Structure 1
Amino acid sequence: MSKTAITSPELAPPVGPFSQAIAVGGFLYFSGQVGQDPATGKVVEGGIVAETERVFRNLSAVLKAAGRSFDHVARAGVYL
């Protein structure tokens, strides 16, 4: 089964051997997302609410790069 790294041009490129997401067998897998502002490369200020909102904007950008949207998400495990 092939694996395809998904990278959004709207976000900062991943550091090291990491990917923003991996597409495998019709599924898209994310992990370790943080509230990083792509313009500054830093975690957004404003606490957990601002960081969580930024994470979901970043996830949306990666979904878009994969030709998907949150309408295609069947499960999300969120750990705050």
Structure 2
Amino acid sequence: MNHRASPSRPFTAEKVTEYHEGDGYPDATTSWKTVELEGPQVLEPGVEAAWVSTNATAQYGLAAIQNLALVGDKLPG
């Protein structure tokens, strides 16, 4: 939901909640498979999730903060 609000697409608490409770990755066809890496491929053995990027994750977090700031007064509690 990182788009500008407009009369035809207003920010609402419901939309922000729906976005926030999702995984932030709109492509439903994305495989969540992880791959174990070891040997000469990496310095330290580990697990890689190639489907996620640090940039996309950071953008999702920033959008969540922005959205909550925009509708915070409309949330229950």
TM-score range for the pair, normalised by the shorter chain length: 0.3 to 0.5
TM-score, normalisation: structure 2: 0.35
State the structure with bigger RCO (CA 8 A, min sep 6), 1 or 2.
2
More helix by share: 2
More strand by share: 1
> Which protein is bigger by CA-based radius of gyration?
2
